[in-house]
């Protein structure tokens, strides 16, 4: 396996439509990553071996998406000494609240940063921000990204002030 900055892991291929958003953002930032489907419940030996490889390759950040019991982020946080960002995946049973609680309620000593339910893009942004602390090129890209968001909101406000809310809504 090649060395990458970020490992994106998901427990099932059904998570891929959500987790792709993290990959897309990392691509925009020029950050290397790999994506893997592993279940700590259904293929624990493969998951533990993969965790060992991440540690040996000194992966900088892990983004782990999981639904339901959502043990995946915590299991990797327990084994690999890098930041882990958990993405709770919306479930049919409890709308992702079960996933959110499972990821956010980690025991002391095993922290997992947690984003919103289905918030894979924010996980990508957080991973890029972590990497930017030691990478000036990524730092500049994050600054530019935030400046573009600022500019977009200010343009919308200018439009609202010019048109008024009724006309603005008609143009939405």
pLDDT band at 62 (very low <50, low <70, confident <90, very high): very high
Do 44 and 74 lie in one domain? The reply is yes
Closest CA to 141 of 61, 28, 21, 8: 28
Which burial class, exposed, middle or buried, applies to 82 when counting CB atoms under 10 A from its CB (0-12, 13-18, 19+)?
middle
SS3 at position 122: helix
Token pair 């809504």 is found at: 169
Question: For residue range 66-119, what is the model confidence (pLDDT) as tens digits?
Answer: 998 899 999 999 999 999 999 999 988 899 999 999 999 999 999 999 999 999
Cα–Cα distances (Å) from 95 to 9, 17, 70, 74, in that order, read 21, 16, 13, 20
pLDDT band at 1 (very low <50, low <70, confident <90, very high): confident
Range of the domain at 166: 136-172
Closest CA to 14 of 122, 121, 118: 118
**Assigned domain for 1 exists:** no
Question: For residue range 19-41, what is the model confidence (pLDDT) as tens digits?
Answer: 999 999 999 999 999 999 999 99
| CATH number, domain containing residue 129 | 3.40.50.1970
Mean pLDDT of 123-127: 98
**Assigned domain for 52 exists:** yes
pLDDT band at 141 (very low <50, low <70, confident <90, very high): very high
Residues in the chain: 172
Per-chain mean pLDDT for the chain: 96
Q: Quote the pLDDT of residue 92.
A: 85
Do 78 and 24 lie in one domain? The reply is yes
What is the reported pTM? 0.94
Domain count, the chain: 2
Determine the Cα–Cα distance for residues 12 and 97; give it in Å rounded to an integer: 18
Do 86 and 112 lie in one domain? The reply is yes
Do 152 and 118 lie in one domain? The reply is no
Bridge pairing between strands 33-37 and 61-67: unpaired
Q: Quote the pLDDT of residue 69.
A: 85
Which burial class, exposed, middle or buried, applies to 2 when counting CB atoms under 10 A from its CB (0-12, 13-18, 19+)?
exposed
In DSSP terms, which residues pair with 113 in a beta bridge?
85
Q: Quote the pLDDT of residue 161.
A: 97
Q: Quote the pLDDT of residue 153.
A: 98
């Amino acid at each position: 396996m090649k060395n990458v900055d970020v490992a994106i892991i998901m427990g099932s291929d059904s998570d891929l439509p959500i987790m792709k958003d993290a990959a897309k953002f990392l691509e925009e930032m020029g950050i290397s990553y790999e994506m893997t489907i592993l279940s700590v419940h259904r293929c624990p030996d493969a998951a533990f071996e993969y965790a060992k490889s991440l540690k040996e390759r000194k992966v900088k950040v892990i983004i782990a998406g999981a639904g339901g019991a959502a043990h995946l982020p915590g299991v990797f946080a327990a084994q690999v000494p890098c930041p882990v960002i958990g993405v709770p995946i919306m479930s049919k049973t409890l709308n992702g609240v079960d996933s959110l609680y499972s990821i956010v309620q980690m025991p002391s000593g095993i922290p997992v940063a947690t984003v919103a339910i289905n918030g894979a893009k924010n996980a990508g942004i957080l991973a890029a921000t972590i990497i930017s602390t030691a990478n000036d090129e990524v730092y500049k890209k994050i600054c530019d990204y935030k400046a573009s968001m600022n500019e977009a909101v200010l343009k919308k406000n200018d439009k609202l002030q010019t048109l008024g809310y009724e006309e603005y809504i008609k143009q939405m």
